[in-house]
Chains A and B, each alone.
Chain A
């Protein structure tokens, strides 16, 4: 078991019930490489708070968004849908 994710429908549930869907919107890509591959493969790999998408496989089968601090796995909030609030 690991950290808890606040699913808006199902309440606090352990992370293994969810599938990770990637973090939302790394800030605008740097100029280094051409635009396409920039956002596909390059990312901030943030050590801090980021918005993320998770799919609740063992519950409501909905995509939700949470804000998590990747340094501590502290999850502050969860929202319905796939866009950062």
Chain B
């Protein structure tokens, strides 16, 4: 039924292509879509409907309805009528059971009519309660269209390109092309997009044409994602012209969903674009010129048009379509039966205003034309062509009994269902939509929204204007998740020593946004090395903020709870960052390198939050101080263990003797030739140095330290070793031992707070909490059994807190940890229980202070 060559056809008869459909090979030309090729090859039933499994075929052939959903190369529910044939596709029909031609589930349509009215599932399966899970499992197997997971999806890229446009014109029909040409002539940068492939070859000078390219939505700031093949154009436009035209609305009559019933757009595209004769004997019910033109095209294509009825201005005829073997066989008009295999019918054309409504334009009901049309537009957004309502109207109607008159073909919702819903009290379009599921299918209301509002208006007596519309929401066309998501994009931070660590055998884990070595193969050996020899750890992940200026000291006294003014040059002090409400958000160190120069370190995850809080405090009080984020400029290592001093002495010009470089001292000098800042702090509990140096020299310094430490059995340390070693000292890790509510008072850090130094972050809240006393306390504990971290602390059988950290000590072999307990039992030796899971309990006792080297001699030695 392919017609001979016609001018204006958009197929290339010299470029043959094939694809398979349910295993059979199908011939097509370049320019055909899968739908047009199948239709040309005689296929009429394309899919089965959602609830009644009625046969469905091409109805709009323009990507508006769900009558041709098929699986293409593993992609479910593709609108075959607009999917251009590339060649070699594996196309499969989507049926729950049987085949397209014979679907046993169709019994639901014949038998279940009265038993499955709209909302039936709210009345069934209530009693007995135990029955429902089985009914639900059965229902699940009977619903759902696309198959997923049988074969891995065909890998195809989805890239994103961020673009700007002077004028973005959506819709390349006559009015869209005019608008594009006009703005291009004014010298604007114009992009014209249209979802229909036939405009791919359209050329207008000064205009970039993207076709097929679907504008998925109009987002805030006039941002429009245009979904083309393999590329999402994310266009921010100074001006948007919406010229998306209007859509044929189905005529409502009994059997209006049968394959063989089509709208004028289907005829225009089948004959006009792909030179296909849609049928042999046709009846045309014309509601507008589109109907007249369809009749003309059919005669030109050699179809016998046995009857043409003009629906304009006449009493709606009683129409009933009859089927044989699932296909249209005849139509009864006011009792007169006419055999035909094609019935072209529509009620008129409704403006496709969704993108305008999404952008914020208001919509009104034009009673004269019986359509919803855009009303006030927002600035930067224009409407052109029939989307404005000009040349669009939906006035024609037909009488139908309503039992199989489909208002919403996607969801099998009939006119009778809507009337019944109103009868039950669902009189507003929004709850009628949720109750009947009308407009909730793949066409998202393109073909059924207007009819639903008008049906409600008739049933309730409330006018369409008062009933209003449902909210227009993106996407304008169903779009695959993979195409919207685009390329994988998960920024991870790596230190300058990332590859040096990898070569040393590091096993990487995520800690927040950082990739960090968890261990280098043997965490226990790493711990042992620190206690007995020396270990080297990459701590470049620490946040580093250089604070410099006349008000630097006053500033730090304001943002830290502890006193900073007493910190001398070349000394370092531990500090806590709090929120205004006195909760801990981070911890770190304050290193004074000059009268008005400090380096402040934060945890690896906390630097952004602290940096922004610092700048806010400076701006609020107009302080003369600069805060410079040098986290990336400097790398850092911690060299810890009894042999640390000896190793360091081999690579630095700084005098490392204990008297010259005491605990909490700071020195600056060269390490492995790089300009470095060194300090003695004891987070890991042994003699230790934290060394900061330019990241550009990081690998050089790391290799030098490892070489110098070789004879002492130096090992690189991972996060696992860090967690174990600091736990021996009872040191907390913010984010692991603290949560969003933890305060310094709960962690025994009250004494650090310099209450008398005037305003500092959180002082009022902390002051009040201090008067009232904390409810819980974060304390060390020893236990008989090793609990999982997070497990509940039980006091008197009730949940009284939780374990935040727990390990078996590499030094004492005892189980040690940190936990929240009720403040009342926060003192040394108090007993409590741990929930070990499956109802088992374990004993535990509070231990205040470090488990290992409580007086810190090893750190200070």
Direct contact of A and B (CB under 8 A): yes
- With A40-B580, A82-B619 already in contact, the answer to whether A19 and B219 are too (CB < 8 A) is no
Minimum distance in angstroms from B474 CB to a CB of chain A: 12
Alpha-carbon distance between A37 and B619 when the two chains are bound, in angstroms? 24
On chain A, the residues within 8 Å of B616 by CB distance are 21, 53, 55, 63, 82
Evaluate contact between A57 and B220: CB separation under 8 angstroms.
no
On chain A, the residues within 8 Å of B620 by CB distance are 82-83
On chain B, the residues within 8 Å of A63 by CB distance are 612, 615-616, 619
Evaluate contact between A55 and B221: CB separation under 8 angstroms.
no
Among A2, A21, A55, A81: residue with most chain B CB under 10 A: A55
The A-contacting residues of B in range 192-246, CB under 8 angstroms, are 219-221, 223, 234, 236
Q: Is A84 an interface residue (CB 8 A)?
A: no
On chain B, the residues within 8 Å of A40 by CB distance are 580-581, 765
Minimum distance in angstroms from B619 CB to a CB of chain A: 4
Minimum distance in angstroms from B860 CB to a CB of chain A: 40
Evaluate contact between A55 and B615: CB separation under 8 angstroms.
yes
On chain A, the residues within 8 Å of B223 by CB distance are 1, 14
Evaluate contact between A2 and B612: CB separation under 8 angstroms.
no
Evaluate contact between B221 and A36: CB separation under 8 angstroms.
no
Q: Digit string of A1-33 for contact with B (CB within 8 Å is 1, else 0)?
A: 111100000001010000101000000000000
Q: Digit string of A41-78 for contact with B (CB within 8 Å is 1, else 0)?
A: 10000000000010101000111000000000100000
Evaluate contact between A36 and B765: CB separation under 8 angstroms.
yes
Alpha-carbon distance between A14 and B768 when the two chains are bound, in angstroms? 40
Alpha-carbon distance between A57 and B608 when the two chains are bound, in angstroms? 9
Residue of A nearest to B221 (CB): A4
On chain A, the residues within 8 Å of B775 by CB distance are none
On chain B, the residues within 8 Å of A21 by CB distance are 612, 616
The A-contacting residues of B in range 69-102, CB under 8 angstroms, are none
- With A40-B580, A40-B581, A82-B620 already in contact, the answer to whether A2 and B615 are too (CB < 8 A) is no
Evaluate contact between B764 and A36: CB separation under 8 angstroms.
yes
Total interface residues on B, CB under 8 Å, equals 17
On chain A, the residues within 8 Å of B608 by CB distance are 57
Evaluate contact between A14 and B765: CB separation under 8 angstroms.
no
Evaluate contact between A14 and B764: CB separation under 8 angstroms.
no
Alpha-carbon distance between A62 and B620 when the two chains are bound, in angstroms? 12
On chain A, the residues within 8 Å of B612 by CB distance are 19, 21, 55, 57, 63
Minimum distance in angstroms from A30 CB to a CB of chain B: 19
Measured as residues with beta carbon below 8 angstroms from the partner, the interface class of chain A is 20 to 34
Evaluate contact between B221 and A14: CB separation under 8 angstroms.
yes
On chain B, the residues within 8 Å of A2 by CB distance are 219-221
Checking B220, B581, B619, B764 against A1 with a beta-carbon cut-off of 8 angstroms, the contacting residue is B220
Alpha-carbon distance between A19 and B221 when the two chains are bound, in angstroms? 18
- With A1-B219, A57-B608 already in contact, the answer to whether A36 and B768 are too (CB < 8 A) is yes
Minimum distance in angstroms from B209 CB to a CB of chain A: 24
The A-contacting residues of B in range 579-594, CB under 8 angstroms, are 580-581
Q: Digit string of B588-622 for contact with A (CB within 8 Å is 1, else 0)?
A: 00000000000000000000100010011001100
Checking B220, B236, B581, B765 against A3 with a beta-carbon cut-off of 8 angstroms, the contacting residue is B220
- With A19-B612, A55-B612, A57-B608 already in contact, the answer to whether A3 and B221 are too (CB < 8 A) is yes
Evaluate contact between B619 and A61: CB separation under 8 angstroms.
no
Minimum distance in angstroms from B560 CB to a CB of chain A: 20
Minimum distance in angstroms from A26 CB to a CB of chain B: 14
On chain A, the residues within 8 Å of B236 by CB distance are 1
Minimum distance in angstroms from A61 CB to a CB of chain B: 7
Alpha-carbon distance between A73 and B219 when the two chains are bound, in angstroms? 12
Among B220, B223, B768: residue with most chain A CB under 10 A: B220
Minimum distance in angstroms from A54 CB to a CB of chain B: 10
Residue of B nearest to A65 (CB): B619
On chain A, the residues within 8 Å of B221 by CB distance are 1-4, 12, 14
Alpha-carbon distance between A14 and B616 when the two chains are bound, in angstroms? 21
Minimum distance in angstroms from B104 CB to a CB of chain A: 48
Alpha-carbon distance between A82 and B620 when the two chains are bound, in angstroms? 6
The A-contacting residues of B in range 228-267, CB under 8 angstroms, are 234, 236
Residue of B nearest to A64 (CB): B619
Residue of A nearest to B762 (CB): A40
Alpha-carbon distance between A82 and B608 when the two chains are bound, in angstroms? 18
Alpha-carbon distance between A9 and B220 when the two chains are bound, in angstroms? 22
Checking A4, A61, A73 against B615 with a beta-carbon cut-off of 8 angstroms, the contacting residue is A61
Minimum distance in angstroms from A43 CB to a CB of chain B: 13
On chain A, the residues within 8 Å of B580 by CB distance are 40
Minimum distance in angstroms from B444 CB to a CB of chain A: 22
On chain B, the residues within 8 Å of A73 by CB distance are 220
Minimum distance in angstroms from B162 CB to a CB of chain A: 9
Alpha-carbon distance between A61 and B234 when the two chains are bound, in angstroms? 25
On chain B, the residues within 8 Å of A83 by CB distance are 620
Minimum distance in angstroms from A59 CB to a CB of chain B: 13
On chain B, the residues within 8 Å of A3 by CB distance are 220-221
Alpha-carbon distance between A78 and B234 when the two chains are bound, in angstroms? 25
Minimum distance in angstroms from B386 CB to a CB of chain A: 29
Residue of A nearest to B768 (CB): A36
Alpha-carbon distance between A81 and B764 when the two chains are bound, in angstroms? 25
Q: Digit string of B134-156 for contact with A (CB within 8 Å is 1, else 0)?
A: 00000000000000000000000
Minimum distance in angstroms from B631 CB to a CB of chain A: 13
Residue of A nearest to B236 (CB): A1
Alpha-carbon distance between A55 and B608 when the two chains are bound, in angstroms? 11
On chain B, the residues within 8 Å of A1 by CB distance are 219-221, 223, 234, 236
Identify the 6 closest CB pairs spanning chains A and B, nearest first: A82-B619, A4-B221, A3-B220, A1-B223, A2-B220, A55-B612
Binding site for A on B (CB under 8 A): 219-221, 223, 234, 236, 580-581, 608, 612, 615-616, 619-620, 764-765, 768
Query: Told that A14-B221, A21-B616, A57-B608 touch, could you supply 9 new A-B pairs with CB distance under 8 A?
Result: A1-B221, A2-B221, A4-B221, A36-B765, A40-B581, A53-B616, A63-B616, A63-B619, A82-B616
A-B contact pairs, 14 of them (CB 8 A): A1-B219, A2-B221, A4-B220, A14-B223, A40-B580, A40-B581, A53-B616, A55-B612, A63-B612, A63-B615, A63-B616, A63-B619, A81-B619, A82-B616
